[in-house]
Structure 1
């Protein structure tokens, strides 16, 4: 059963709760399909099953609260916590992933928290890693609140209006138009993923943030760059 089919089988109020919980738990640092749940719920809103305002609001609250708890956990556990997680879950918390996220933090500071909401890897690591690297909480809070609102509200609005437009458009076209639309969507997704992977690879190879840099490797060095 797909996510959208599962969501249609439960009452609207529980969809709102599910959106907030899944996104909140994902923001804590636990890999869950938060973005998939949000997109599926926004599409259901386009069909009139749920209210898009409530979907966006619950997603934003879940993102902000989850990231804040993740920050507190990371600040308490520090770098040793990531070392233990890396040994147990190398796919998500391996040295390569943590090292790359740290380089983003040292280079972009609080912008990493804001923009990290739109990137799968940083969406999971932003809160806990910001706490472990001792980013000042007020900086983290500003970036966390703004990022959560823009990501949750923006994603919900875009998917909602695209879903409504797609339904109206597809009513007047044959199944061939549907196939063309699907192919276009797949091609666009592959293009965006390829560009993102290239950007990440270029950033990882920056000489100023190499892993051998003694400042970037300090475990408890504060991240105060704005």
Structure 2
């Protein structure tokens, strides 16, 4: 019996599977029970089976959405009706710090805590219950519950669903393909972890930052330079991580580009990875990659930044607006120059890309600049211990955006690497420049309103406007 047949024998029928997805989503969001149930593992496994059965993705997402809404609703009702008894219930009488942590989270983020909390493991089952305990208006909670579930369902189920659609191809992968796939995943994860760790260590609370500050105090010229870097801005803190990022990414970009130019064609790695992607790509993966392509083209980027641009204008954050616009305009110019320098042919050239070269990937570099700068600006408004969440969110968006170019077949893998490096160089330059021009800290934006407007505009762009 093959591995696939063994997995099929273990799987429930499609009708029961939809019920299981709804129940898992409900239980994971349910107070008390959700603390001990490995919901992420179960929902990923169920979504993989749904993909393998080729169940309609809309129906799968609807079941998960309804389960999540009901689970949070029951938790909110429990908090409203049992607020006096909850501290004495298991497990809170043994771990009162869990309630304290959830209460602080709710007090810090208010209405947004329901939206954010659904994606934060330690407080996910607690926030709706605490919202009920803290007398949050039922109508306000309802809208927050619906909005968060609408975002949670695709974010948690689509990766597992796509895995289920493609696991037969993964099991029947050509010789050497598994090695390339493992290397690709390991490289992306290692780079993300290294970036996150380095950013934290170069922030004010990091060990490397403290060591540099201690070293600077031992020398007059070092102390003068250090004080100059840290002075004159609202935050009083030079973006040291951006400076180090520039020193690392610029020479790596130069070396990588020279290597690509010397090859005069795709690298052996490019051909192997492209063959691997072609072997596992399914119609659903290609459709999602097409949507990402539309979200990342010129019109998509304009729509993504339009609401935030208007808010920055309204709040008179002209320095942030000019640097964001300059970063996007600069990366567009850099992409054009690099493409004409390399003149590298694409693996496939659809009509809307005729006359356009392959290296570097403009979608990748633009995504890195857009979401990287957004993460940096958002991190300014967050406590230091939560800033890593903004950067990890940017990474989680940029990686699929880049890999979608391989699924469509319009870029080689080395194009994605070049685009990512070029985007990091642009991000570092913009952040360093912004430090010299910012006159006041950024205000916290109205996340809920701007996010809903952006999502509505992006959906309209994907489904009703042609590619650009």
TM-score, normalisation: structure 1: 0.70
Q: Alpha-carbon deviation of 1:202?
A: 2.5
Q: Corresponding residue for 2:25? A: 23
Judged with a 3 Å threshold, the aligned counterparts in structure 2 of structure 1 residues 50 and 186 are, in CA distance, closer, same or farther, namely farther
Alignment of 1:33-44 (within 5 A): 33-44=38-49
CA distance in 2, matches of 1:18, 1:132: 29
Partners of 1:20 and 1:58 within 8 A in 2? yes
SS in 1 for 2:125: helix
Larger RCO, structures 1/2 (Cα 8 Å, 6+ apart)? 1
CA distance in 2: counterparts of 1:41 and 1:65, whole angstroms: 19
CA contact (8 A) 1:75 1:134 kept: yes
Cα deviation for residue 150 of structure 1 reads 0.8
- Match in the other structure for 1:180: 183
Matches within 5 A, 1:201-216: 202=385
1:100 aligns with 2:283: no
Following the alignment from structure 1 to structure 2, what is the Cα–Cα distance between the partners of residues 129 and 191? 35
Q: Normalising to structure 2: TM-score of the pair?
A: 0.36
Moved more, 178-187 or 152-161: 178-187
Two-structure CA RMSD over aligned residues (Å): 3.7
Question: Are positions 1:140 and 2:141 aligned together?
Answer: yes
Question: 1:165, CA displacement in angstroms?
Answer: 6.8
By how many angstroms is 1:106 displaced?
0.8
In structure 2, the residue matched to 1:207 is: none
Structure 2 counterpart of 1:171: 173
1:48 deviation in Å?
3.6
| Structure 2 residue 124 is matched with structure 1 residue 123 | yes
Q: Which residue of 2 aligns with 1:60?
A: 65
Q: Which residue of 1 aligns with 2:157?
A: 156
CA distance 1:191–1:102, shift in 2 (3 Å): farther
Give SS of 2:89's match.
helix
Structure 1: runs of 5 or more not aligned? 204-225
CA distance in structure 2 between the aligned counterparts of 1:7 and 1:102, rounded to whole angstroms? 45
Q: Per-residue CA shift, 1:16-53, capped at 9, x if unaligned?
A: 11111122122221122222222222223333453322
Q: Is the 8 A contact 1:41 1:55 kept in 2?
A: no
Which residue does 1:214 correspond to in 2?
A: none
- CA drift of 1:121 comes to 1.9
Distance 1:87 1:142, change over 3 A: closer
- Matches of 1:40 and 1:52, distance apart in 2: 15
User: Whose Rg is larger?
Assistant: 2
Q: Residues 83 and 190 from structure 1, CA distance in 2 versus in 1: closer, same or farther, beyond 3 angstroms?
A: farther
- For residue 410 of structure 2, what is the aligned residue in structure 1? none
Q: For the structure 1 residues 87 and 151, does the alpha-carbon distance in structure 2 shift closer, same or farther, using more than 3 Å as the test?
A: closer
How many residue pairs align between the two structures?
196
Distance in 2 of aligned mates of 1:40 and 1:10: 12
CA displacement at 1:99 relative to structure 2: 1.1
Taking the aligned partners of 2:140 and 2:119, their CA distance within structure 1 comes to 18
* Corresponding position of 2:280: none
Displacement of 1:70: 1.1
SS at match of 1:171: coil
TM-aligned CA deviation for residue 79 of structure 1: 4.5
The secondary structure found in structure 1 opposite 2:135 is: coil
Report which stretch shifted further, 6-15 or 29-38: 6-15
Q: Counterparts of 2:146 and 2:12 in 1: how far apart (Å)?
A: 29
| C-alpha separation in 2, matches of 1:67 and 1:113 | 9
Residues of 2 paired with 1:140 and 1:202: CA distance?
26
Aligned-residue offset at 1:189:
8.7
Instruction: Determine if contact 1:113/1:143 at 8 Å carries over to the other structure.
Output: yes
Q: Which runs of 5+ in 2 are unaligned?
A: 1-5, 200-204, 206-381, 387-447, 449-468
- How far the C-alpha of 1:190 sits from its partner, in A, is 6.5
